[in-house]
C-alpha cells in the first residue's frame, strides 16, 4: 500500500475587531498614556491562561503601519486596539465560557442577537456588529468585551456590576475568525489604553506561555482545513477500515524547537510531530493518515517533554 504523506497545516488565528472599535483609531498614538490610575483589572476570563485560553493578539503599539506589542514583539496586528483571548475552539464556546467584568463598574452599552460562529471576517466584515458589553468604571475609564456568544449577555444597560461578575460568554460574533474575547480599554477621553501598561492587571497572563495542548481532534475521515479545526465534530471512537484518520491539535504557546508528539498504535506512520518554528501564541495543526488496518483497540497518545498530555482510544 502506498503511504500517504501527512497533510499538516499550522496557522495562527487572526482575530479582528469591530467597526466601533476601529472608529477612533487615530487617538492611540499619544505620547502620554492616559490616566487610568484609579482602575485595576482582573482577567476577564476564568480558567488558566495558556491552557484554557491564550492571548493571541495584544494592543498594537507600533507607530504608523509598524506592528509592536507591549514587549516589543509581534504578537499583534496593525492597529489592533485590544487584547484577544482565544479559546481552543468552538467546542469550548459551546460549553459556555463566561466573560467576567475586569473591574467594578456600570453597564453603559450592550448588544446581543448577532450570529456567533464566524470563522472569517469576510466581505464587508468590518460592518458586522459583534455582541458586546461596555462597562464604565470609576473616573470614566471604559472596558469593552466584544464578539460575545449570541444570547449570552446577562447584564442590562445601567446595571452596576462587581469585578468578576459574569457579563456573557465568549463567542465569535461580528468580524471574528475564531471564538475569542476582544478586551479593550479606553481612557476617560476615549484613547486606547493597553491593559499591559504597568500596574493595570492585578495578575497579568504570561507573555511566553509554555507549549500546551489546549484541545485535540480525532476524526473518522479527512480534516478539511483550519476552519474544521476551529469547529470540529465530536472525537470519533471508531475509524472506518481502510478510511482516513484525521488528527488535529489546538496548541498554546511554545518557543522554536518545542515539540508535541502524537503516537498512533498500529499505524503505518506511528508518530507525528508538531514542532514550533516561531512563537505563535495559538496554533492549529492537522494530519490526515490512512486508518490503522489491524483490528482491536488502538491508542492515540499525545506527549510533550516525555509527559503524557492526552490519550484517546479507537476501536
- Ranked by CB distance to Zn ion, the top (closest) residue is 182
Q: Are 118 and 92 in contact (CB under 8 A)?
A: no
Say how far apart CA 279 and CA 211 lie, in whole Å: 10
Say how far apart CA 3 and CA 136 lie, in whole Å: 59
CB of 86: closest distance to Zn ion in angstroms?
Answer: 10
Of 122-130, 181-189, 242-250, 294-302, the segment contacting Zn ion by CB under 5 A is 181-189
CB of 241: closest distance to Zn ion in angstroms?
Answer: 45
CB of 81: closest distance to Zn ion in angstroms?
Answer: 7
Say how far apart CA 180 and CA 189 lie, in whole Å: 27
C-alpha cell at 161: 456590576
Asked if 179 is part of the footprint of Zn ion (rule: CB under 5 A), the reply reads no
Nearer to Zn ion, 59 or 276 (CB): 59
Q: Which residues are within 8 A (CB) of 26 and not within 5 positions of it... i.e. 6 or more apart?
A: none
Of 27-35, 59-67, 77-85, 153-161, the segment contacting Zn ion by CB under 5 A is 77-85
Asked if 84 is part of the footprint of Zn ion (rule: CB under 5 A), the reply reads yes
Say how far apart CA 282 and CA 90 lie, in whole Å: 14
Residue 255, CA distances (Å) to 10, 68, 100, 124, 233 in order: 15, 18, 30, 36, 29
Q: Are 269 and 3 in contact (CB under 8 A)?
A: yes
153-174 CB burial, b ≥16 within 10 A, e <16: bbbeeebebebebbbbbbbbbb
CB of 121: closest distance to Zn ion in angstroms?
Answer: 11
Say how far apart CA 78 and CA 57 lie, in whole Å: 10
Of 34-42, 81-89, 168-176, 214-222, the segment contacting Zn ion by CB under 5 A is 81-89
Half-sphere CA count of 33, side-chain side, radius 13 A = 15
Nearer to Zn ion, 75 or 182 (CB): 182
Q: Are 50 and 212 in contact (CB under 8 A)?
A: yes
Asked if 110 is part of the footprint of Zn ion (rule: CB under 5 A), the reply reads no
Nearer to Zn ion, 22 or 273 (CB): 22
Count of residues near Zn ion by CB under 5 A? 5
Binding pattern for the stretch 6-45 against Zn ion, x by CB under 5 A and - elsewhere: ---------x-x----------------------------
Nearer to Zn ion, 17 or 161 (CB): 17
The correct pick among 111, 142, 182, 298 for binding Zn ion (CB under 5 A) is 182
The correct pick among 44, 62, 82, 232 for binding Zn ion (CB under 5 A) is 82
By CB under 5 A, name the binding residues for Zn ion.
Answer: 15, 17, 82, 84, 182
Amino acid at each position: 500500500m502506498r503511504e500517504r504523506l501527512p497533510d499538516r497545516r499550522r496557522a495562527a488565528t487572526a482575530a479582528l475587531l469591530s467597526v466601533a472599535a476601529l472608529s477612533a483609531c487615530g487617538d492611540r498614538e499619544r505620547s502620554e498614556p492616559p490616566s487610568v490610575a484609579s482602575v485595576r483589572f482582573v482577567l476577564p476570563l476564568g480558567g488558566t491562561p495558556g491552557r484554557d485560553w491564550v492571548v493571541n493578539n495584544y494592543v498594537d503599539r507600533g507607530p504608523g503601519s509598524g506592528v509592536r506589542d507591549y514587549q516589543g514583539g509581534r504578537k499583534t496586528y496593525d492597529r489592533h486596539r485590544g487584547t484577544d483571548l482565544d479559546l481552543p475552539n468552538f467546542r469550548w464556546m459551546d460549553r459556555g465560557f463566561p466573560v467576567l467584568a475586569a473591574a467594578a463598574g456600570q453597564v453603559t452599552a450592550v448588544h446581543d442577537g448577532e450570529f456567533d460562529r464566524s470563522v472569517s471576517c469576510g466581505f464587508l466584515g468590518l460592518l458586522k456588529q459583534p455582541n458586546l458589553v461596555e462597562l464604565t468604571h470609576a473616573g470614566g475609564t471604559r472596558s469593552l468585551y466584544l464578539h460575545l456568544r449570541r444570547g449570552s449577555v446577562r447584564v442590562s444597560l445601567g446595571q452596576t456590576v462587581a469585578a468578576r461578575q459574569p457579563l456573557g460568554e465568549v463567542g465569535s460574533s461580528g468580524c471574528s475568525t475564531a471564538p475569542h474575547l476582544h478586551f479593550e480599554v479606553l481612557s476617560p477621553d476615549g484613547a486606547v489604553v493597553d491593559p499591559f501598561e504597568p500596574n493595570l492587571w492585578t495578575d497579568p497572563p504570561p507573555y511566553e506561555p509554555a507549549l500546551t495542548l489546549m484541545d485535540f481532534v480525532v476524526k473518522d475521515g479527512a480534516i478539511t482545513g483550519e476552519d474544521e479545526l476551529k469547529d470540529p465534530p465530536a472525537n470519533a471512537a471508531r475509524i472506518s477500515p481502510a478510511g482516513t484518520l484525521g488528527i488535529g491539535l489546538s496548541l498554546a504557546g511554545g518557543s522554536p524547537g518545542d515539540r508535541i508528539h502524537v503516537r498512533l498504535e498500529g499505524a503505518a506512520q506511528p508518530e507525528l510531530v508538531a514542532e514550533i518554528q516561531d512563537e505563535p501564541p495559538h496554533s492549529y495543526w492537522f494530519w490526515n493518515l490512512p486508518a490503522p488496518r489491524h483490528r482491536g483497540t488502538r491508542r492515540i497518545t499525545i506527549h510533550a517533554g516525555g509527559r503524557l498530555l492526552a490519550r484517546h482510544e479507537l476501536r
